[in-house]
Structure 1
């Protein structure tokens, strides 16, 4: 039997409501589906940070929530906290704090992180109680399901799932190749 493998593609392209850093328009869009309680996602954070530095203005980095609640009981509420912080302009600082403190993601911890960031912790607490941002998290999750995501972290480069090694040089080569193909 002969055939070629075609990796899954991103069914919902990044839009203005996605959390992103880097140029809005550029040759490469890198999407991560992540889970704040996933140790593999946390291990990837320094690699992804370096990748963003290397790629510079060539790459837009997008983060989408994919909480694996069956194995990570705090992942969904952590994602909601990141969304609540984002409503106050602090998504990325909260993103970084959550990955740096994966072992402490209870609601009281999340509210404490909001206070440490200098944002309105009471507003974050109210949003968590009301699950105000659960629809945002669910929307990200379902976009991942529709794109064939089943675990975290999962990456898409220019809409195509990255199935290579999860080490910096391999991912950087894939980003460089995508940039060349886009020009």
Structure 2
């Protein structure tokens, strides 16, 4: 009996969704008829009318995506629009301490730690900032490397703040472990970015050298896996390497240790 009730419930939900979709389509058709030149409408085929409705739906989706981007920008006010040497930095540019993360967008532990680092920065009162360096792992390539290039493409086409928005969205929405996000140009359109612009940048491989340089810098620092964080004291020049996932409390303890030396 419970199985039948479940099936009935699913069918009911599907029916409601279909009815809602038909109501919306019918409403759009009425709007077209009242807002479009009547003689013109009389000569339009059903295919043409559907195309007009699709255009309206596309415009609605674009408007929603732009609103989403605007809301996300409010959440990333600590990211300056431009940064020295085109670095990917979140927080006060002149902060004493930098958490320099070597991360892989496809890495589940990087994803898990992403929010923790952001929390530390936002509660540091300008003492700590965060620099993201690309370290796409071989086991997650080519997807991880392409996503890293996409972040740099967003930074080039927009600014540092928008790149941080994209980085968090990528981290949260990827399937992980090299499975990726699917079509990246189409994906970035979902939160208000120009997919064609990012797609053309990816096709040109303009930022491949930057990704390779970050990776080699990490290797020279002794990094072999992600996540890894170099804690840099910009006042004394001291640094300390943390390997693996860390909680906000552990990150703060490590920062306090380097400050007390």
Structure 1 residue ranges without an equivalent (≥5): 1-13
RMSD over aligned CA atoms reads 2.1
> In the alignment, what sits opposite 2:187?
113
Aligned to 2:199: 125
* TM-score for the superposition, normalised by structure 2: 0.59
Give the total of aligned pairs.
Answer: 167
The reply to whether residue 168 of structure 1 matches residue 248 of structure 2 is yes
Q: TM-score, normalised by structure 1?
A: 0.82
Match of 1:53 among 95, 117, 122: 122
Structure ranking higher in helix proportion: 2
Give 1:1-183 correspondences, 5 Å limit: 16-87=85-156, 88-89=158-159, 90-103=162-175, 105-106=180-181, 108=183, 110-158=184-232, 159-163=239-243, 166-181=246-261
1:165–1:171 Cα contact (<8 Å) kept? no
Asked if the contact 2:226–2:244 (Cα under 8 Å) also holds between the matched residues in 1, the reply is: no
2: distance between equivalents of 1:15 and 1:147? 21
| Bigger RCO (CA 8 Å, 6+ sep) | 1
1:36 and 1:75 in contact (8 A); partners too: yes
Structure with higher Rg: it is 2
Whole-angstrom distance in 2 between the partners of 1:100 and 1:163: 21
CA deviation profile, 1:113-164 (whole Å, cap 9, x unmatched): 3213323211110111221211111111111111111000000111321258
Distance 1:134 1:166 in 2: 29
Q: Contact 1:21/1:61 (CA < 8 Å) preserved in 2? A: yes
Instruction: Specify every segment of 5 or more residues in structure 2 that has no aligned partner in the other structure, as ranges.
Output: 1-82, 233-238
